[in-house]
Amino acid sequence: MTARRAWLVLGLILALPPPASAADPGWTINDLMDRLAAVKQVEARFVERKTLSVLLSPLISSGILRYRAPSYLLKQVVEPLPETYEVSGGRLFVESPGRPREEVDLDRYRPLRVLADSLRATLAGDIATLDSYCRIELSGQAEGWTLRLEPRDDEVRRYVSAVVIGGSEAELLVVDTRDADGDQSVMTITPETE
């Protein structure tokens, strides 16, 4: 082989994309859960758009989300009206200006419990808990994945048909909650950077 031909072959080899196995190591639910489990604390901003069949236009709210592993969640609505939802252990706390703080035992409201625990299990990378509540379908790759959760429980399915979570790497970027009656809530999440 002449030197010129050797350079030509080398150039062609370098111009080819790497084999699929090198560029795409595979992306499984365990890969996603491992990455999510490594995140111990998150703060993010959100904009939520709720489409309800009884309203002519969607309800839009915005605020702050906080997560602390393994099971603490806070949703603080800033606009249009301040309100705070805090999930800690088996309790949901709701605060609104001018009203006493409400406490809800999640064990008494199974659909709320399943939704809260499914979101917490996703954030914690707890596939065993998530699988006990939902049928799980993962699509995409690390840089852009979609996790579809469908409740296993008949009672919960009367209220929620699916929760579809979109993200990248270990960040949740969209949470789309689809109610059984056709209503929908899409929360767009923007993680805070340090």
* pLDDT tens-digit readout, 124-166: 999 999 999 999 999 999 999 999 999 999 999 999 999 999 9
Predicted local distance difference test score (pLDDT) of residue 55: 86
Taking phi over 0 as left and psi of -120 to 50 as alpha, with beta for the rest, 184 belongs to: beta
Average pLDDT in the chain: 86
Phi, psi angle pair for 110, to nearest 5°: -55, -45
State yes or no: pLDDT of 103 exceeds 60.
yes
Q: Rounded to an integer, what distance in angstroms lies between the CA atom of residue 129 and that of residue 149?
A: 12
Q: What percent of the chain is predicted at pLDDT more than 90?
A: 76
Q: Per the structure block, which two tokens stand in for 139?
A: 């699509």
Listed residue (29, 39, 65) closest to 142, CA to CA: 29
Q: Residues 179-184: contacts with CB within 8 Å, 24+ apart? A: 181/53, 182/53, 183/50, 183/51, 183/52, 183/53, 184/50, 184/51
Of 23-32, 55-64, 170-179, the one with minimum mean pLDDT is 23-32
Q: What percent of the chain is predicted at pLDDT more than 70?
A: 87
- Compute the half-sphere exposure of residue 21: CA atoms within 13 Å on the CB side of its CA: 0
State yes or no: pLDDT of 22 exceeds 80.
no
Q: Given pLDDT bands bounded at 50, 70 and 90, which one contains residue 77?
A: very high
Whether pTM exceeds 0.85: no
Q: Taking residues 1-17, what's their average pLDDT?
A: 33
- Fold for the domain defined by 27-191: outer membrane lipoprotein receptor (LolB), chain A (2.50.20)
State yes or no: pLDDT of 25 exceeds 60.
no
Predicted local distance difference test score (pLDDT) of residue 183: 93
Compare 98 and 23 and report the one with higher pLDDT.
98
Predicted local distance difference test score (pLDDT) of residue 194: 57
Predicted local distance difference test score (pLDDT) of residue 133: 94
